[in-house]
Chain A
Amino acid sequence: MLKLRRARFSNFRLLRDVELSFSVDDAKRLTVIRAENESGKTTMLTALQWAFFGDAALDESPGRPARLYPIDWDATAEPRVPVSVEVEFDYASETTLKDGSSVRSEETFLIRRSCTEHPNEDGAGARTNNSLMLYRLEAKGDEPVANPQVELEDKFPVGLRELFFTDGDRAQTWIEVGTQGVKRARVQNAIRSLLGLDLIEKAQDHVKETLNSFNRELKSIGPNTEAGKLGDRLAEIEVELAESEKAKGDATEALGRIEEQIQDYENRIGEALRQGDRDDLQRQVSSANDQLKAAERTEVQLQRQHSDLFKDTSLALGLLAPHVRRARGLLAGLKERGTIPQKFLPILEEAVDQGVCVCGTSLAKGTPTRKHVCDLIDEHKKVDAIVDRLTDLNVLASRLGTSLDVEDAVGWSQRARDSFQLVSGAQETLRTAQERAKELERQLEGLPDTAVADLTKAKKAAEEQRKVQIRSEREAEIKIHTVERERTELTKRRDQLLRSEKKYARLRANLRAAEDIHGVLALTFAAIQQGKMREVSEEMNRLFLGMIVANTEQAQKAIIQKAEITDDYDIVVTGPQGRRLDPDRDLNGASRRALTLSFILALTNVSGVEAPNVIDTPLGMTSGLVRHSILRTAAENATQLVLFLTPAEIRDVEDLLDEYAGAMWTMSNTAHYPTMLANEPPASDLRVVLCQCGHRQFCSVCERNGDELNDRLVRRPS
């Protein structure tokens, strides 16, 4: 729904500075803009279209540009003319929700189209600075809308321009100008656009193309059964895989056990090695025992040497030296006193020993002297034993005299200490050797029976087992890998086939869906074409016959009996006896205008498209009952009706304007003063001046010569 609210024109031809509002009252949907000829009606109609559709509304042709600036613009003083038109309008849009329902939202927009014209000598003007702005009017402020041209085209397609903005004098062109083909195309375009046939047809085309693509794809795939066979083989593979995986699992498990066993052996060997090898230990025991024996021998030898030390004379000498020296002194005294020795005997014995007598005589064996001496010795031996003993002692003491000076107890003590240390060392060594031997014996006794060699042998056997299990595991892995690879390939192939099958199924579903969519669109197209078009045709006929006040009760007497739209989009009028009338030739101007308006109103009504019908001089060439009927019909059937009426057109329909008009304006051309306007306008240039006088009023602005005498009009207070 589009509804005009307000418009402002600036330097658009005669509309130098005009602003007016439109009725948006649903009860009074008519806005009347009264104006004599050459007072800006067509200009305003064009300006409104320019605002919505741009230069397309200007009916320009190459080399013949339209002029927008006021014709009397003083280009010398102001070479550039800023031209602009603003239109404020309400727009209701519908959004289709997922559930198929629709939500309606209403917004207010403002179009501001402007340009700068540069007047030239030939009356045209180069146009620059073309600008189009579209604003969404909100309480918080005006919000510019992006892509205004696109948005406007969406809201008000340019193709429908002539349907909603109608120049009454040209309104008949819908049915009377051009060839049949041109008329048909014009009607066809309007019908197809407003009823949605264009849209449905385009949707059908696109869905059809989609259908074709689905069909092409479907043919390229086709159903297949290979996936099933692959599925059987894949099932076998699963069994093989399970077996291989079990074998691998067993091997892995056995391997684990063996590894543990080997580890145990290694631990035990390690422990055994830490504790000692039995053989090695045995060897160590033997060695320790040998060392022990050697230590014992050394100790015994040293003990013996140490004992011998106590047998040494030096020990006795050392110990006896003080006593011997004292005894020697005593004996020396005895000797000095001559008590000892018995001089002869020792001398004699000494001489015998030396073989020479003190006198020098030889005492050699067998000599008589020697015999004599010996006899003498025997005689002396019989003397006192004590004297003898003392003599002996004295001799001995003399003999020991030198030794006593050399050997003493101190020297022996040092040797004794040295010897003792050696013995002690030997004893320590012996003790250590004994402890070592005992420790080794103890270790030997504590060593398990299993020898490192046995453990090593067992470990090697386990390692051989491990190799076997590794081979088994590897073989199982290879088998698994091979089967898995086969499974992967087959699965891939199967999935491809399944995808194909799925794709086939999906395409079939897509195809079904697209066919349904296409079917419904076709049915909808037909329903609109046959149903809605018939509705439009019937509505147009009803409105048309009502507008021309046809005698429907005695139809056989009516010149115009029926108007209809054919399936070929021709608007045909039927006369008596079913004879087809040529609108161009057989209908008068009022009927042609009525037929055009009927078609437009019927089409907008049936299509449900709500937009303003802006019509310039719709009641020209009409009079009396037909004029009355045309206006009433239009006022009752239009969503919003904006009529540019001349005072002449208003004649005889004042009551209807009273009834339907919600807004009224009067436009006057200052150029008409003083020939037609009674009062001098406030501006001296050519322009339209606007006042709010209704169809029964005049004021100082719009008063025309003779209005004072017109009993249909009253003066509106300024």
Chain B
Amino acid sequence: MTVANAPAVLETGAGASPRRQSRAGLAKYLGLTPFALYVLLFLAIPTVLAVSTGFFTEDGSLTFDNVAGIFAPAVLATFASSFWVSAVTAVIGAVVGALVCYAMLGTRAEGALRTTVDSLSSVLAQFGGVMLAFAFIATIGNQGLVTVILRNSFGIDLFAGGQWLYQVPGLLPVYIYFQVPLMVITFMPALEGLKSQWAEANATLGGTRFTYWTQIAIPVLAPSFISSLLLLFANAFSSYATAAALISQGSQIVPLQIRSALVSETVLGRENMAGALALGMIVVMVVVMWGYSALQTRASRWQQ
């Protein structure tokens, strides 16, 4: 608190007249305007527009048709497939990612292993998109490296069940490929927050490794684990680039549905349908991210 008040004391202490002081105060607030304006123009307005266009028709009158359109069976089905792709990849990503974090416990944070894994994880988790789709086409696509090896050497046809890589199931391996690294980035701090004193206390009281994990570590880590799981879900739910690069036909998940609503020129008023879909998506994202931050707050109790 004293630190926070210090600058104000410094400025008034010089015996500035109240008038000068208030002008300085105003100037201070002026300093905030560029950022405020920028965020207003390119974050607040687009978000409000995105969410509200769903409530209007093309000529500007209020309607609930678009929002009701979300509950059309075809649209609900895309929400459902978005949900299950996100859920499956989040669970697998979280479990594998947590294992990798566990394996890195006890290595030096500044060491070569950790810095390399961290950087690799960030690349794959956040910036891959289109490029990861390419990598998977080159690997398990029709003529992919693994496809060809399996076909020629083992007689296994990856595509016996159809062209699954270019449909919703094809999203699973690629999404897992960026979910695991995201888990590594978000879950590692929680795992490092486990204190060695807890293990010592457990041992002193006659506990075993098993009781350490079941009675101490897992309960302490549970909020972090679930909040990371939610973040992974949100990440998969909102990701667009990979799906756009893999799936060229149809709009089987919500982001692709938004694409087709945005670029469609055949059906009039579809742009407002994009607004309704965006609204649906935001509702899901807000709920998930709210859960994420609530759990994070709870988890941070153990990370002091």
Partners in one complex: no
